[in-house]
Amino acid sequence: MKRKTAVVLLGSIIALSVLSGCGSNEATEAASESAQTEDEGAGDDAEMQEALEEEETKKEKDSEKEDEKGTKDQEEAEETEEIQEEAEIEEENTDKVAILLPDEKNWSDDAEELQADLVEDGYESLVFYAEGDGSKQVSQIQEMLAAEVKAFIIAPVDPYGLTDALAPVKEAKIPVFSYDQLIMNTNAVKYYTTFGGRQTGHMLAEEIVKKEELEKLREEKGSKTIEFLMGSLDSTEALFLYNGVMEILQPYLDDGTLVCTSGKVSFDDTGILRWSSDLAGTRFRDILENSYEEGQTPDIVCTGFDQAALAVIDVLEEKGVVPGSEMWPLITGSECQAEAVKAIASGKIAFSVFMDYRTLADTCEQMVHEYISGEEEPEVNDYEQYDNGVKIIGTYLCESQIIDADNYEILIDNGYYKEEEVRPEATPTPTLKPTSTPEPEPTETPEPTEIPEPTETPEPTETPEPTETPEPTETPEPEEEDAEPDPTQKPRVTLRGSK
């Protein structure tokens, strides 16, 4: 038993020795492998280090690119922001010009032309319509004064009603440009642009003298009748136009070549307040009824605006007067509105004065631009006749033109009107209806008469001897009631239409 146990112990010891040897070898091999791996690892680390360095370099380059892109984006953003700021500043610094007009219906074309010119020269325009309300225009002036506009362009509703409203405008040293109508009783007005009422009046009157051959009529000691319907009593230009007309026609009125049957010759008697066509029609109807016999009309009706001329036409046609007939008077207008041009083309109005709003607007805007920019002094061609009650106003007078049936088409050619706006509609030529004659009553056919039997030819008779011509009887003396008329008695002036 002991022997068996010893053998087992011996085997165990041998086994442990073997295992111990094996472990030593494995440890040695592991150590050797570890050393070798360590040597090989040193090479891999170098490559990895190099790769890491390359990756780092790439990251640095990418980072630099990102930084560059970010910088560029930032610069672009800053530049855009700067441009926007400059635009905002420029917008804030854009000079504003206020345009104040009486109403939109009659003045929208002027507004559009003024706006286009101002925008072209770098200004912002602010347009306001007063719709015929003077107090509303005063409020608009106050509003634009608060907006710090650089200039005012004003066509006044009431030329005499802006004195107080423009006083602070003068204190703020903002220039006022009076447009078409002169603003009265204020020193705030810097310049005035118009067509010139006096010059327009001269043109109207001179055309009347020419078309009615007043010089020839004067030499023949003849006369013609004339009536007047002038512009608004509160309009300075209407007064100037009236004065211009009278400067030419007054000598013919003084010597009787022209006769105003109604006696209404002064501006107060002939002016139509606020250019009212209704009032013009009423005034002319009263003249016909109170100053002319039935069937009579004046030879000439001189009006200061087209709406008055059109009102005259309406009254005449109401009374059955036919255009082109002997009773139809020579009618004048002013402004060349589309309906008036149609009436000119059809022969109802003799002529009107053309005033191109485009010329007026362009001239006014140019004066505003020159004044604000300070490049040069605005040009004026009249510094004498336009006194607004406080001072003489430097004025630029635009040119106007007479338009009649012979030349009205130039308004189509120059683009002022389209053909369909002013060409009259063709009217059929009137034909006289044949008068029906009553058919004769049928008569009974007479019975045929018998042919008489021929009779014997009578013997010729002797020609009688001529008798003596009787002495003429004396013409009886005319009775006293048929005596010759007194040669000192003046002949009666026959009015057109009474013949």
How far, in whole angstroms, is CA 120 from its chain's centroid? Answer: 19
Is 459 part of a structural domain of the chain? no
Into how many domains does the chain fold? 3
Is 155 part of a structural domain of the chain? yes
Does residue 216 share a domain with residue 310?
yes
The residue among 490, 341, 303 whose CA lies nearest residue 423 is 341
The answer to whether 422 and 408 have CB atoms below 8 angstroms apart is: yes
Which residue, 140, 165, 192, sits at the end of a domain?
192
| Spans of the chain, pLDDT less than 50 | 1-43, 87, 89-91, 428-499
Does residue 309 share a domain with residue 334?
yes
Which residue, 142, 174, 192, sits at the end of a domain?
192
The answer to whether 362 and 380 have CB atoms below 8 angstroms apart is: no
What was the pLDDT predicted at 76?
A: 73
Is 319 part of a structural domain of the chain? yes
How far, in whole angstroms, is CA 267 from its chain's centroid? Answer: 27
Question: What's the rounded Cα separation, in Å, for the pair 84 and 80?
Answer: 6
Encode pLDDT of 237-291 as tens digits: 999 999 999 999 999 999 999 999 999 999 999 999 989 999 999 999 999 999 9
Does residue 413 share a domain with residue 330?
yes
What was the pLDDT predicted at 461?
A: 41
Does residue 154 share a domain with residue 117?
yes
Domain that holds residue 76: 42-91
pTM: 0.67
Does residue 77 share a domain with residue 163?
no
What was the pLDDT predicted at 236?
A: 87
- 109 Cβ contact partners less than 8 Å away, ≥ 6 residues apart: 357
Which residue, 152, 177, 192, sits at the end of a domain?
192
| Helix residue spans in 157-235 (DSSP H) | 163-171, 197-211, 214-219
Q: In this structure, what CATH number is given to the domain that contains residue 111?
A: 3.40.50.2300
What was the pLDDT predicted at 426?
A: 67
